[in-house]
Amino acid sequence: MFPILMRLKIRSEGKRGVSLWLPVFLAWIILWAFMLVLLPFVLLAALLSLGRGPGMSLLAVYPLLFSLLWNLSDLHIETRDAENDVLISFL
Amino acid sequence: MNEEHRKILEMLKDGKISVDDAERLMTAVGEPEAEASSSPAGKPGWKYLRVQVEPGPGSESQDKVNIRVPFKLIRAGLKFAALIPKASQGKVNEALKEKGIDIDLSKITAEDLQDIIANLDDMTVEVDGQDKVRIFCE
């Protein structure tokens, strides 16, 4: 499923750290609304360039982007050294 | 232990079959767990690729890395990367080569990835005896 929240934690020694829970589902809503608006133009461009350009690739962007975002949940990246601490996690 | 093995053992216990018969039946039924673990298609339960970097015993650094990437995300990413126009792919490959990564992402297929997963049981790499890098599936 689409990740609903993103946890972002950044800490640096001697500085005030940031720890946020970002509601990324709002970003998906905006993104899909934007892509829906673009869809007629993408379809037109795909039809015009079919056979001699990126026609099919343009059409494939939608399902592939959907698949990419759908599988983003459970991604967890955490790095730490003596001075910095970064955590990015999708839930 | 699956249902067939249990039945064979029960028949052996009740004296309905001999030890030799039980052995033959066990062989005929097979050992699904062993077959599954040696399957070239990999272990179906694996969902994530994990990369862990921890300071080794002789290391003074406190660097730690803990990454968990869903396999489905890697597959989706590879498919998405295939959409990059060929002219740009060359630039991406050159940039990767400069960083010491000499691979063509567009040529990696889902089957290649499956092979990598199947053979990536539990790999531990120790870098100069300082950092311990562990790459495994879970």
Q: What ipTM score was computed for the predicted complex, to two decimals?
A: 0.83
How far apart CA B105 and CA B96 sit, in angstroms, is 10
The contact set of A with B (CB < 8 A) is 54, 57, 60-61, 64-65, 67-68, 70-82
pLDDT in tens, A5-35: 999 999 888 888 889 999 999 999 999 999 9
Per-residue pLDDT of chain B (138 residues), as tens digits, is 566 677 777 777 777 766 766 666 666 665 444 444 444 444 557 788 888 888 877 777 778 999 999 988 888 888 887 777 777 778 888 888 888 888 777 677 767 777 777 676 666 666 666 778 888 888
Please give, rounded to a whole number of angstroms, the shortest distance from the CA of A81 to a CA of chain B.
Answer: 4
**Model confidence, pTM:** 0.68
Give CA angle at B118 (B112, B45), nearest 5°. 120
Put simply, the answer to whether A79 touches B85 (Cβ < 8 Å) is no
How far apart CA B47 and CA A64 sit, in angstroms, is 19
Put simply, the answer to whether B76 touches A67 (Cβ < 8 Å) is yes
Q: Where are the domains of chain A?
A: 6-90
